[in-house]
Structure formats: C-alpha cells, structure tokens
Amino acid sequence: MTITIRAVDKRFGRYPALNNIGLEVRDGELLALLGPSGSGKTTLLRVIAGLEFPEAGQVLFGGQDVTYAHAAARQVGFVFQQYALFKHMTVAKNVAFGLDVRKAADRPSKADIAARVAELLKLVELDGLGGRFPSQLSGGQRQRVALARALAVSPQVLLLDEPFGALDATVRKSLRRELRRIHDATGVTTIFVTHDQEEALELADRVAILNKGQIEQVGAPQEVHDNPASAFVCGFVGEANRLVGEVTQGRFRSGAIQVPAPGVAPGAASAYIRPYDIVAGAPGEGFEATVRRIVLHGPVARVETVLDGGQPIEASFAREDLNGAVQGGRVTLKIKQAHLFPVVQG
C-alpha cells in the first residue's frame, strides 16, 4: 500500500505541529520517521492512523483519500509506546480483539480466529503464552503482544510509535531485529517513529527526518548520513564537530582550520565534520591541536582534542595512526571531508 501525504498542516492551539508536510511512502517499505521530541513525528504518524485529523492537506492510501476517514475504517495496525494492551484480557484475547469485534458476517469462525492467534503468537515468538494476562509478561513480551494484535487484522499499513522506547537497551536491540524479520515475512508497509538515529539507520529502508514540523530530508540511511540536505540533518544523524566560520574565495575558514568550499556562497557558514573524516596528518599539513583524552575502542582511537582558540575537535581514526600521541601532547590532524551550510540570517 502506497501512502501519499500532501501538504498536511496540523496545529495544536496556536502551536504548529505539522507544517506543509509532503511524503510518499512506497509499497512494502519500512520507513522511519526520525526527529527530536516536538518535531511532529508522532503527530504525523497519528494523522496517518486516523487518530488525529489535519487542518489542511490530504492523506491518500493507494490513491484513495482517507484524510478524514475514521481509524477503524483505515485498516491500519497501530503499536503504542506504552503497549496499550487490554489488561483484563488474556494475551490470546488481546490478539484476537480486532477479529472478535468484526460484524458477524465478516468475522472468521472461532476455530479460524484461534488458528490465526496461534500463528501470530508463533510469529512473535510467544507460542504457549496465550493464556497469560499482560501483567504476567515482561515489557518486551508485552510489546510483542501489541505487535501481534496489530498484525491480526492483516492491516494494509503497520504504524509504530516509538515501539522500543520503554524497553531496556538489550531488549530493544533484539526486538529491533525481530521487527525487521517480521516486516520481511509479512511484507506490510511499515512506518515507525523514533528519536534514536541508530535505530532508524539500522532498521529502516528509508528515513524521513523531521524538525519543527517539517521534513528536512527523506532518503536511504546511507544517503542521509553521507549527503545531509541541511545543517540540522547533519547534526542530528551521525556525530559531527560543528565549526562556525566564514566562506571567502571558495574556502571555509574558522581559526586555524581551512577547508575548500566549492559552490558555497560567500558569507557566514557552519561546517560539520564527522570525527571519522578527520585523520592524523603529517607535520606541516592540516592543523595542530592539544590532546585532551584518548579512548580506544578496539582498533579505533577516539581522540578528543582542543584547538588553541578553545574549540573542541573530536577525531576518530585507526589506532596505529596515533603516532605516539599522548594526553596533553600535540597532534596534527587533517580534514578529509566537511559538510558546509551557509548560516541563514534572521
């Protein structure tokens, strides 16, 4: 199911939550809505689900306008951050709920529902736990139940709102892989919301990055990381050193640091440099800095340095390139690549 979002506006009182959002979700893809809190990502998900209605714009499911259709009519599966399970029902009853509430004519037989429940519990690896109550399950298990319940109605779209937000790091990692596996097994178009860039980059086919109610960039994880469309994306996705400076005569200058700036308009600009785009330089090339701390991660050395002007710079390169650098000593560093963005005045 292709989902098209056209020029959607949504405000809460005077506060604009979504501002002219346009997005195309491809059939069968796993898309992440990534952004800081307050960026509007959850609101956008709820607009797609029919739990929130926009003031302007359109939401289309496979070409059909569902902007103001009720949640029940959209055939979406929604997974909430806090599970939202029915506490008074067993796991099996929770999963069967979407089928149980159908009108008699559309409702599968009891045996069919039981078979479907068993199949789904197997899919989320909870076989045999159908008789338990949600209170008897761990957080990770509860979220699996919520996932099975959402999938039970064979939704056209699966929507997940920070599905791993309430779980601890280990469970989150394993459930993340699980979601990818389930997505690949069912092939259902899936959109999930997260503020965790690692989660988004690892799990999604494509990532849509939101900031202040607007979409900054949509693309494959590698693409948004390597070619960020805006300063915000560059700062939010992946790590980066941020330098403020000026572009003159095709070069960006900030203190001792200079990088070529082809095609960047002269004037105030900021440079975002990934730690792993900074390498150890031979004496005479690049710039010098004082080492504050060296942290070794196996073969990789993370070198925290500070420039003479006080600007901190973090570099990350192979351990053997350290060349005897020590804490408190001086190192020569060279910038391989920088992302430059003109500073917007105002």
* Residue 41 · residue 192 · CB < 8 Å: no
Question: From CA 114, how far away is CA 208, in angstroms rounded?
Answer: 38
Q: CB of 265: closest distance to another protein in angstroms?
A: 47
Question: From CA 330, how far away is CA 236, in angstroms rounded?
Answer: 30
Q: CB of 128: closest distance to another protein in angstroms?
A: 18
Nearer to another protein, 82 or 337 (CB): 82
Q: Which residue has the tokens 């809190």?
A: 37
Question: From CA 216, how far away is CA 346, in angstroms rounded?
Answer: 19
Q: CB of 300: closest distance to another protein in angstroms?
A: 42
Q: CB of 159: closest distance to another protein in angstroms?
A: 8
Nearer to another protein, 103 or 297 (CB): 103
* Residue 129 · residue 137 · CB < 8 Å: yes
* Residue 121 · residue 173 · CB < 8 Å: no
Q: CB of 113: closest distance to another protein in angstroms?
A: 13
DSSP states of 256-277 as a string?
Answer: TEEEE-TTPPSEEEEEEE-GGG
Nearer to another protein, 50 or 130 (CB): 50
Mapped onto helix, strand or coil, the DSSP state of residue 9 is strand
Q: CB of 88: closest distance to another protein in angstroms?
A: 5
Q: CB of 84: closest distance to another protein in angstroms?
A: 4
Nearer to another protein, 189 or 305 (CB): 189
Q: Where on the chain is the footprint of another protein (CB under 8 A)?
A: 49-51, 70-72, 74-78, 80, 82, 84-89, 97-98, 100-102, 133-135, 146, 149-150, 152-153
Nearer to another protein, 30 or 146 (CB): 146
Q: 344, exposed or middle or buried, with CB in 10 Å at 0-12, 13-18, 19+?
A: exposed
Q: Which residue has the tokens 């959402």?
A: 150
Nearer to another protein, 132 or 242 (CB): 132
Nearer to another protein, 87 or 330 (CB): 87
What long-range pairs does 58-62 form, CB within 8 A, spacing at least 24? 58/4, 58/5, 58/6, 58/7, 58/8, 59/3, 59/4, 59/5, 59/6, 59/8, 60/2, 60/3, 60/4, 60/5, 60/6, 61/1, 61/2, 61/3, 61/156, 61/157, 62/1, 62/2, 62/3, 62/156
* Residue 188 · residue 157 · CB < 8 Å: yes
Q: CB of 92: closest distance to another protein in angstroms?
A: 13
Residue 346: both structure tokens together: 């105002």
Nearer to another protein, 186 or 311 (CB): 186
